[in-house]
Amino acid sequence: MYGLIGKMLTEPGQRDVVIDILLRGTEAMPGCRSYIVARDPSNENAIWITEAWDSAEQHRASLALPSVQQAIAQARPHITGFGERFETEPVGGHGI
C-alpha cells in the first residue's frame, strides 16, 4: 500500500470551505482505502489529510479524475501552502 500524511494551509477563515471542497471531491477514488480530513487544533488555518491507497500509481491517477481536478481548481485560491508531508507504507489496521 501507499500512504500520505500531509498538512495544508489555508487563507484565514477559509479552512472549512476547503475542507468541504476536499470532502466532496474525494468521495469516489479507485484504489483509495482511506482519506481522512482533519482540522489542526493548534492552527486555525491548517488541515491534516491522511491517505491510504492500494498503490502509489492509483494515488497518482486520482489526481487526473474530473472530481479531483474540480476540487483542486476550487480549493487552490484558498490554499496558501503546505506544511509537513510524510510518505508511508500502510501495512494494516482498522478502517482500510
Residues in the site for a second copy, rule: CB under 8 A?
Answer: 1, 3, 5, 19, 22-23, 26-27, 29, 32-42, 48, 50, 52, 84, 86-96
In the complex, the smallest distance separating the C-beta of residue 77 from a second copy, rounded to whole angstroms, is 20
Q: Which is nearer to a second copy, 36 or 73 (by Cβ)?
A: 36
Cα 35–Cα 66–Cα 90 angle in degrees, nearest 5: 25
Tracing cell 494494516 back to the chain, one arrives at 92
In the complex, the smallest distance separating the C-beta of residue 42 from a second copy, rounded to whole angstroms, is 8
Size of the chain, expressed as the number of residues it contains? 96
State the cell numbers at 89.
Answer: 507504507
